[in-house]
Amino acid sequence: MSEPSLSMDKPALIRALQRVLPERLIIHEDEALRPYECDGLSAYRQVPLLVVLPENSEQVQQVMQCCHQRGVPVVARGAATGLSGGALPLADGVLMSLAKLNKILDIDPLNRTARVQPGVRNLAISQAVEAQGLYYAPDPSSQIACTIGGNVAENSGGVHCLKYGLTVHNVLELKVVTASGELVVFGAAALDAPGYDLLALMIGSEGMLGIVVEVLVKLLPTPQRAQVLLAAFDDVSKAANAVGDVIAAGVIPAGLEMMDGMAIRAAEDFVHAGYPVDAEAMLLCELDGANDEVSAQLAKVRQQLLDSGATEVRTAKNEEERALFWKGRKSAFPAVGRISPDYYCMDGTVPRKRLAEVLLETSRLSEHFQLPVANVFHAGDGNLHPLILYDANKPGELKRAEDLGAAILELCVKVGGTITGEHGVGHEKIHQMCVQFSAAELTQFHAVKHAFDPLGLLNPGKAIPQPRRCSEYKSLGSETLTPPSARGV
């Protein structure tokens, strides 16, 4: 990555920060900085210039004012579980960890909201309101560890976002510190807020427009009942088409997940969930709601899955088996990790009705690049997570994995989809933004960035490529990465 700029006077910056933060909240020695060098996408690493750990929003404001005066860039991070390198530090920048802003400030059961600091873990919110019969719906796989601030930055989803939406649908209000250190509020506790929707704009903006210091989340009543169906298929395309069939039948499942044969067998070896190891694909379909409603939907979905060609449909016998079915799905990434030295998790989205052809084409791309791909994903949303298996110790394999990943993302764009469903663009997919958007659209993104951060100090270099870099990327001929078969999709 980049070297510190010559003009950066680190000792002077430390002295300035010491005037606004207690010594213990500033990390600047090399060894102590090492743990902050990457987020969940550990293929990319960069030790930051220094780390600050503010304990309240006033300190966040003061740090931002201090950095703003000196033109020092700032990368904010929560638990750093992100998978697109959105919190990758800068050699000449401050890394601001929001881990110490970890308080639940208020729970309001009547308005069904909770006011929390950004460093509160996703699952901790649901645990705190469980006794009131409530929960916070978005549930990324990392929900034990990931924080709500990071969820806001990446507009995180999860298994249940098919029915309950992404982070943007479950947050009502944000307190934000701007690039210049001012505190502003976007959104409102009430239904709608006047003026431009800066709340939605902030969500998913990957720390590039402001630093979130407080989040008002919506809570939902815990469903009376949840039940899961497991359907086995002898063919990936049949399973993919069954996804659209279920939804076209008028049911919106709480979750509708797909695993292909490789993922099924890896997960079964790992957690012994009772998965059908001979199947080529499997769907897990969760239904939730009132007792009677769930019963009626179970019958309807079971019949639809059989009509769509499932070789077997099982209902979890009890709560224990339901948990086991989900444990297999949730362990699928580490399970695949056991059968390959390394894996690279992609994240793209396609319209549901294009699922079958995209999976077929992905398998052709997998052969072309000579790297296996396992598929474990949020099928109901059309949100793919191809896991590319490679060995970083073999020369050229990481590069080939990256190229295969890029080809899959560009395939998603070609069929009318997008290059991210829930992981964000970050450092990882910045080139694919050139494929997704026109120069006019990228120019508009930059204009919005400039409206919030005219000096470009907040997480610079992530998410939104310069149109000039896109010209370079395109002149390299991204199509050379893609075999002819994929270009015609």
| CB of 365 or CB of 419, closer to its own copies | 419
| CB of 276 or CB of 386, closer to its own copies | 386
Report helix, strand or coil for 161. Answer: helix
Min dist. Cβ of residue 35 to its own copies (A): 29
| CB of 54 or CB of 204, closer to its own copies | 204
Among 121, 352, 385, 431, binds its own copies (CB under 8 A): 352
Map the footprint of its own copies across residues 364-383, applying CB under 8 A: 381-383
Map the footprint of its own copies across residues 176-195, applying CB under 8 A: 178, 182-186, 188-195
Among 22, 35, 71, 221, binds its own copies (CB under 8 A): 221
| CB of 197 or CB of 312, closer to its own copies | 197
Contacts 24+ apart (CB under 8 A), 294-302: 294/224, 294/225, 294/226, 294/227, 297/251, 297/253, 298/227, 298/229, 300/249, 300/250, 300/251, 301/229, 301/246, 301/249, 301/251, 301/253, 302/229
| CB of 169 or CB of 364, closer to its own copies | 169
Min dist. Cβ of residue 29 to its own copies (A): 36
By CB under 8 A, residue 4 contacts its own copies: no
The amino acid that residue 277 corresponds to is: V
Report helix, strand or coil for 88. Answer: coil
d(CA 150, CA 325): 28
Q: DSSP alpha helices (H): ranges in 249-318? A: 261-271, 291-307
Where residue 206 falls (left for φ over 0; alpha for ψ -120 to 50; beta otherwise) is left
| CB of 27 or CB of 247, closer to its own copies | 247
Task: Count the residues of the shown chain that bind its own copies, applying the rule CB under 8 A.
Answer: 86
CB 82 within 8 A of CB 41: yes
d(CA 470, CA 436): 11
Q: Report residue 359 as tokens.
A: 């999976």
| CB of 299 or CB of 392, closer to its own copies | 299
The one segment of 53-61, 104-112, 266-274, 306-314 that binds its own copies by CB under 8 A? 104-112
Q: Report residue 334 as tokens.
A: 């580490």
By CB under 8 A, residue 292 contacts its own copies: yes
Map the footprint of its own copies across residues 413-472, applying CB under 8 A: 416-422, 424-425, 429, 433, 436-438, 440-441, 444-445, 447-452, 463-464
Map the footprint of its own copies across residues 39-78, applying CB under 8 A: none
